Amino acid sequence: MDSKAEGQYQLEWRYQNTTAVVGEVLYCWGGDQEGLDWSHDSPTKRQCTSAIDTFNLLSGVWSSQPTRGTPPLGIIGVSCTTINNNIYYFGGYCGHDTCYHNSLNCLDTLTLQWKELQSTNNSSVTKRGYGGMIVMGSEGEPQQLLVIGGVAPISTITQYHHQFKYVTTAGVYDLVRTNEQNIYNLSSGQWTVPSVSGQCCPPTSHFISERINHIKGIMYGGAVTNSGIPTNSIYLFQLSHNTINWECLKQGAVPNDGLWPKETWGHASTIINGVSTSPTLVVIGGLGNNNQPVNDCLLLETNQYNWMKIPLPDPVTGRYCHTVSSFVLDPNHVFLIVVGGGIKREQKHVGGGVMEWINIPVTDSNITMVVELVFNDGQWLLGLVLDSVNIPLLYEQILKERRKEFMTDKVKELQVINESLRHDLQVARINNQSLQEALLETQSLSETQLLETKTLLTKRKRDQEDSPHSDNSKKLKTDELEESVEEKQIMTGEYEELKAVVAELYITELLEEKTQVEEQLKEKQIIIDNFKTTVSEKDAYISKLLKGKSQEQERITSQEEQSIKETSSVEVQFNYLIPSMGKRYASKFELIFTTIGFLMLLKN
């Protein structure tokens, strides 16, 4: 099966195998290989299927690991995909006659334990191989496995779904090529058959399919029609609930700069999910018309769907039915690991005048090849290319150098950022100093303006005190002061202090007058009691009081108005003072004035 070369384990030839990357390890399982027993089931076959080969992506060293449990019987043309630490395998060709499987199995890479999720006896899904399978659903959502197309034996089909097609293959009367699609829900453990819409792909096998995001995938190339001719059709498909919407990309519908992929089948692909670009599809090798090697490496940027070609040596591209996996070392460096495949097909006599196609596998130093892609100036460029001989010698050292370069670039980048931050900090300090100077200058100017305003107001008050003015001119001066809101705001403090002083003096005088009035009121009360002896005398007395009160009220009102005018000449107007004292004093003043008038009448 596999052997040791120069003391180190080496992977021997593989054809139509699978590879999957989990963490920093690439897992290679299945496929036609040395020592495989093509029987349905036997100890020799179990020996092959129970072992899995691993390639350490950090050291570049192959090793073989035994697995536990029961591995699948379908071993050739199997579809596989990964979720976290698990690798899922569906279907595949058993190796004898037209025996295909539809079992779904899971390999836990932490324990290397096999688990059968769905047996091959499930009749709801067509038994088939050489199709595709990808994961649908984002993290936190129910994960689903979408299985597409492939080749199936007619004798095992128990249900033909009306939305799909089944085309008999030429020369092999028991096989059909189909575009059947099935969805397996990992939460419910159930298969469902989705609805389809749009431009669905035709019955196809030996194509590539990759996931672009959690609901969208891409499919390219493959063998179509009953004769299995290669195609260069590109399809996008998107899952919504239980419906898959298909779209066919036409050559004139997307920018391609004249580059469009050739018709091919048996090619291999991977998706680069680096930080530098949107998801990029990488396609290597395959067979074209007349079963001739395509010898191409194409990259498709899945945002604008631009194709670009990477020149690779023929030992890398001149193969088919192989696998390609990607290992992102850093945002600018990606390593492609190409494993197995065939290099040519030959027709040989197998007896009885029967001719069969024989696939010649890749052997020796080209079984495993590592290709470095470097992202520079907005595009991917070719770096180093290593074969199976150079990988153990150079791969690990190259990884260390690339990491050192990346860290050096990061340090330089951080130094540039640090220098930029220092410059920005210096500019901020200068700006802060300039701002403080501007604020001090503004403050000084404001103080000067405030002093000038105070001087002006003082002069105005002195002019008002020294020069007699008519009531009209005083009112005009007052209106001017009221309209000058800004000046009032500046003088608010002094004005409030002055108003408080004046109010205190005025209230003191009123309180003294109130005391005198109360004393006089007591004296007059005695006199009033003496006048209540007779009714006639009382009526005459009241009439006289009312008349005198009215006269006195008019006189007090006149004096009050005169007092208000005099108070306004010293900046604190009486009409300002009374409201500021509040209702508490206003009601008392009214009582005092009324009492004063009453007593004046008694005196008269």
- pLDDT (tens digit per residue) in 103-161: 999 999 999 999 999 988 778 899 999 999 999 987 667 799 999 999 999 988 988 99
> What count of other Cβ atoms lies within 10 Å of the Cβ of residue 503?
17
Strands (E), 291-406: 297-301, 306-309, 323-330, 333-339, 342-349, 355-361, 368-376, 379-386
Helix (H) or strand (E) holding 164: none
The answer to whether 183 and 191 are in contact (CB under 8 A) is yes
| Cα gap 205→127, rounded to integer Å | 14
What is the pTM assigned to this prediction? 0.69
Alpha-carbon distances, residue 51 vs 6, 7, 230, 273, 472 (angstroms)? 22, 20, 34, 30, 114
> What count of other Cβ atoms lies within 10 Å of the Cβ of residue 95?
17
6 phi and psi angles, rounded to 5 deg: 55, 40
CB burial of 383-403 (b: ≥16 within 10 Å; e: otherwise) equals bebbbbebbbeebeebbeebe
Beta bridge partners of 329: none
- pLDDT value for 589: 41
Name the residue type at position 220. Answer: Y
The answer to whether 228 and 177 are in contact (CB under 8 A) is yes
| Structural tokens at position 64 | 């073989």
Nearest Cα to 502, choosing from 585, 576, 422? Answer: 576
Torsion sign over Cα 137, 139, 140, 142: positive
| Cα gap 499→552, rounded to integer Å | 29
| Cα gap 218→248, rounded to integer Å | 10
DSSP codes of every residue in 554-602: HHHHHHHHHHHHHHHTTT--HHHHHHHH-HHHHHHHHHHHHHHHHHHHH
| Cα gap 145→183, rounded to integer Å | 6
Torsion sign over Cα 583, 586, 587, 588: positive
Helix pair 396-466, 471-483: axis angle to 10 deg? 170
| Structural tokens at position 78 | 């199997």
Alpha-carbon torsion, ordered 128, 133, 137, 140, to 10 deg = 90
pLDDT in tens, 315-344: 999 999 999 999 998 888 999 999 999 998
- pLDDT value for 353: 74
- pLDDT value for 588: 43
Q: How many C-alpha atoms does 523 have within 13 Å on its Cβ side? A: 10
The answer to whether 185 and 172 are in contact (CB under 8 A) is no
| Cα gap 344→30, rounded to integer Å | 20
Nearest Cα to 287, choosing from 241, 322, 245? Answer: 322
DSSP 8-class letter at 265: B
Question: What are the residue ranges in the chain where pLDDT is below 70?
Answer: 1-7, 139-140, 172, 253, 255-258, 274-276, 406, 409-410, 465-604
DSSP codes of every residue in 416-466: HHHHHHHHHHHHHHHHHHHHHHHHHHHHHHHHHHHHHHHHHHHHHHHHHHH
- pLDDT value for 275: 62
- pLDDT value for 479: 55
- pLDDT value for 192: 95
Write down how long the chain is. Answer: 604
Alpha-carbon distances, residue 509 vs 76, 562, 567, 580 (angstroms)? 116, 17, 15, 17
